[in-house]
Structure 1
Amino acid sequence: MLFCDTCGTETRDLEDLAVFASQLSAAGIRARIQFASIPTDLGRNLQFDLARYLTDRLPGPGDHVVLLASHRLTDAKLVALRRLSGDATRCTAFGTYPTRQAAIGLRAKLSYVFGSEPELHDLTNDGWSGGAGSRGPVFGMPRRGKVPARPRLLLVEPDLADPREAAGVVALALSQRLQVTILTNGRAKRGWQTTNGTEVPVFHYGEVLPVDLAERVDICATFTPLLGNYRLQCLVANLGRSGVPLLDATPGHAIASDLELFVRAPVDTVTLAPFLEAEILPNRAEIGRRTAGSRTAACFAPEVALPDLGTPAPDAPADPIAPLAFVPTNGIGLGHAQRCALVAGEIASDTKPVFAAFPSCTRLVKSYGFDVMPMISRSDAHRQSFENDLVNYVRLRALTAGGRSLVFDGGYVFDSIYRTILENRLRGIWIRRGLWQPAQDNSVALDREKVFARVIVPLEAFAELNTRYSHGDHVREVGPVVRRTTLSARERDTLRASLAARYGLDFDHLVVSLLGGGIAADRSAQIQALCGMTEPRSDVLHLVVLWPGARQEPGWFGWRRTRVVRTDRAGILLAAADLCVAAAGYNLFHEVLYNRTPAIFLPQTGAFMDDQNARARAASERGLASVVEPNELMRLERELNRFLSRGEAEATAARLARIDLPEPGNRAAARAIEEVHDDDHGLLDDTGARHAAPRR
């Protein structure tokens, strides 16, 4: 096994180490990094970069230690290496050594640690412009993905703060012949998206590793030098070996002077567009052949650039049936998991979907007949808010290795989802329900849309509730995804009779309350109030329905006319009810409508939730339900009596029976997934979403 480390002490040195390990992994060389050698105060992106390579074992006989930035070896690092070197006897060190004496001194120190003479490799004169060398060995691997008909252009650090340059980027993005992506630093990305939004995909350096970004590039134009930027140098190595046309758009064209695989190009984005049209696009295939066959590209081969660091592992045989993974977030209840299960149940391809789900969702998913890999929920025991997602990231990578597609249902695209799609070259599919609250900031979620080949939007039942948050031919709208439970009159009577027998209570009115699990907002007061309102009525059975894992209060169990039911299949109780008192989340709202159940909605109002007030009001304005604010307990009692004693439940049921609702989108959503997953020609490959041009 190869153990990698750096003698540098800066954050950038650890970033270089992560890049180096990812390049080795792409070359089929198994690389590991000792957990004990990594500081504990790293940023989130770097923790995710390193997570899959960490190990707590020491090197054993036959293992090999590789050091980056060895010229910056300190006494403290020397002591750490002595402690962590284990039984390894072989060491290879990369660095820049200004004098022969410096190399001799370093060799002596490392010989003391490892008990044998190390192999030193001087990167001072490795061919990069300026003669200062790179920060690590530069090598690359040809990409694996297919090239789409509409080539993807990567612009590396254009001057986005210059209005003229920014206008040139917009003009390029408007082209129907190119898909434009920007690679820049974090500050420039934030500035661009503040002004222009997220419709042009932008990566900052720290959010994507070079080997993963290379899979999404067919032409690359760099406006910044490569000197000293190991991440960018490795990206160039991957692209060069893949035969991607590389354009030097820097002043003076110093890169093209040193590396013959670069083509001199205009140094501004405005004149780059006609140059691409006239010179690059018509000759892209020939330029690519020259690039891949160049002397520099040959030097980027691992067997040339790396001094016998290991033997690449052969590719594993392809699975004839590529897995299709569904990953619902846990959200507030079971809505995301239920929506995924309903769609997965409509998949008609030979691939049986598999799930990765949180503990609160696994029982529901299994009840639909799907295998589930458990994920880790966030806990107060975690020191960092994203620590559970680090574990989920490692698990998801393992689950989807060798797979083809990942379907995510949720509002926020977690790092684990984002990186798994990128790093496992998956075709990402995002089931994204809308109706976000006006004050919500969803810029991060929309920015991460760029890694999805398709976005499926289950629409709301009423047109005024549907808002488009992104545009492009990768967005597919379908009807409401809803679980419908149909009971005949006989089945309904039988179920109600069995409830009466089970609980020893005769009733004329079945009232079901589904107010959530107390996570988005505490609804215990409203439930307790409902228990008190139904208690004097001998004609009512009140069921407090909770999903498994939801909070419950001891006081709910002391009422004669109320029973607490834990279930993830509330739909059958809903279909048998005379009245439902419920929150107005997407799934429950549409089940009420499609099952034609009269309802009083008490919307949840958490800042991170969808706009349940708008949804409930739309039904109320049509006479299909009533809306009560959570603090209006006296009005809730009046509405309850109006529905049960004054005929409003029957009148509402009659209006529900007459209303025309959109055709459910369960099957349409499944077809949209199958189109991506079953595409064997790469027309919708793992190369990213096809975005509409920015609107100006």
Structure 2
Amino acid sequence: MPAPGTRTVDVLDVSDLRFPGGTSHSIAEEITAQARSGYSTGLISLNGPLVAKVSPVNRLIRAAVEDGRARLLVGRAPVRAKVVVVRHPAVLQHAAEQLPPVEADHVVIVANAAPYDIDGHEHYRPEAVHEIAKHRFGREPLWAPIGPLVRQAIAGRVPAESLAETDWVNIIDVDAWAVDRPGRAAGARPVIGRHSRSSPQKWPADAATLHAVYPVDGTWTVRVLGGAGPVEHLLGDLPESWEVFPFGAMPPRDFLASLDFFVYFHNPRWVEAFGRTILEALATGVPAVLPPHFEPVFGDAAVYAEPHDVRRVVETLYADRAAYDAQVERARTTARERYGHEAHVARLAALIGPPSTTPAPSTPTPAAPATTSDERPPRALFVSSNGAGMGHLTRLLAYAQRCAPALEPHFFSLSQAAPVVGRFGHPYEYVPSASATGLEPARWHAYFAARLSATIERIHPSVVVFDGTWPYEGLGLVRRAYPGIRWVWSRRGMWRAGMNRDQLAKSSWFDLVIEPGEFAGPADQGVTAQAQATRVGPVTLLDRDDLDTRAAARSFLGLDPAAPLALVSLGAGNINDTSGDLGAVVAALRDLGVEVCVTQPEIATGQGRLDDVHVVRDFPLSRRYRAFDLAVSATGYNSFHELLRFGVPTLFVPNRSTALDDQEARGRYAAAQGWAHTLEVVTVDQATPLLADLLERGEPMVKHVSDADPGNGAVGAARVLTGLVVEGQV
């Protein structure tokens, strides 16, 4: 009988839960399989040596905890488990002292990597890890390599009787990763690709192998998810014919769905333990072309070739549709039989017996669609331009949140902040802007049109919604190619007087123009003010009821529960340079005895004293606005409407360098209405009395905004979009 206060679970997963890639994804898959079968899961995160300590818990594991599939166990209270599963031996070797007391019937050390990397650095000593496990858990551990190469690497370094007879292979929810693979157009080039971290061990080590496996001459389309820094280092530049996306730029399932072949070759000195990205590729049905050493792991689920033979293998299979389709089916069948959730449940049952609880209702993992293709609602593709901040993306997210479930949202964004969409459960694809790629405008517009067309072909949206002030030429090209889709321009107003008039003519590209409202609408002197549009109220991602209480918000952000606090969001600047806007504001707040919270992530110790400045990072930060007594902010669309709608006394400091957004007019209008103060040029002497006034009477000032607030326009915009698709209204 466990001692009072002991936390009891069937499976206790111990690892560094901050790992961004395969280790954490494998843990998340096992959590889901365990929950569906009735096994309870506890998680203990150890801060190991392989991840920077500022990194968050992996999003997939965090989602599993938030929806109740697993319990995150913190603190020193004892834990009782039927089995402890340790993932990555290095974590246990370097951080075992962080464990609470643990009692277990069985201990499994999953060796998901060899002890050494390609540089000869020893990440862990199997002998030492074995003794640590015995001491910490009171049991002789069972070593379970995840593949034959790791088995070879640790054999002889752990007791022979402690080495599992079979490998602890990774698992995957095959149904969640499955994609349709329609026929291809005649004469199309093969699209090959790979998904991995951008590290030298994950790429071929020499230029000859690289050229043989991933052509640079444009004869194939080469698509990379995860970055290609080692290629750039090896060749001096990235091939112009390649399409390279950063790690996390889009859901891997969507990326894999766009490929004809998954081709993965790595540094020959690297011992690839298993290759989770390969398993993900097989589950989607894309034929994988691999080095021969992977054959003992994946068998006939993949195709194997030496580098010099890759071109022949790909082109032969690409030309024979029947053979290609047969390979797709072998990949899917093997993925299900060897690596499906059922395989994991069977090995658990053999080790610890049946689960202690009734199986939980089956729920889709984050990669899975909520319904079958026949039951899915119409899809909406939200396309955001880049912009200076996150306004375009956030506004579309506000629409998407209110369109679901009548419409199924997907995102296609030029903003590097695109991954925030994934936190809301929506698929997304990041496409680098012209400035990010360095391409000449004509080439970039063609690239943009090609990527957008490929996305439309993959998800078949009923409506495309573009948010931006400058519709790209590629939009017009793609729109003409897909006349059966509804096209909508979400076009924010408040343009500088007389500017961008030529862009209004592009309204003809769209079936509908939606204009998000402005609290400062009467001051709008831009060319859109009189243009035809469907106008809705001011748009914010959240509503007032979504905000945390003051106490909860301060606790979440780690702020003093009682001190006066100001939120400062002014972009780049030096906090101690009082000749600049940011420095002057910080100095004025310090003089008033107000603690400063800055949203600028670029603050570093080289910019001055930081002991009394808090850096706050969260999205959407507006959820925590009740933590602050006042704010000092630029006057962009999002910040302006969130701060006023949510009742934060604010000193607005317009960004005067915007090309089109008339931030000065917004700030002046709010000040004229008595809702807020504004300063277009900031000094300590000017800012101090205005901030003091906001501390004294800012709350009653900003309360008057509610008289002019018609409600969140995101609701109206979602209603218009849904009606456009579901009811055919224009």
TM interval, shorter chain, is 0.3 to 0.5
TM-score (norm 1): 0.47
Q: Which has the higher contact order (CA 8 A, sep 6+)?
A: 1
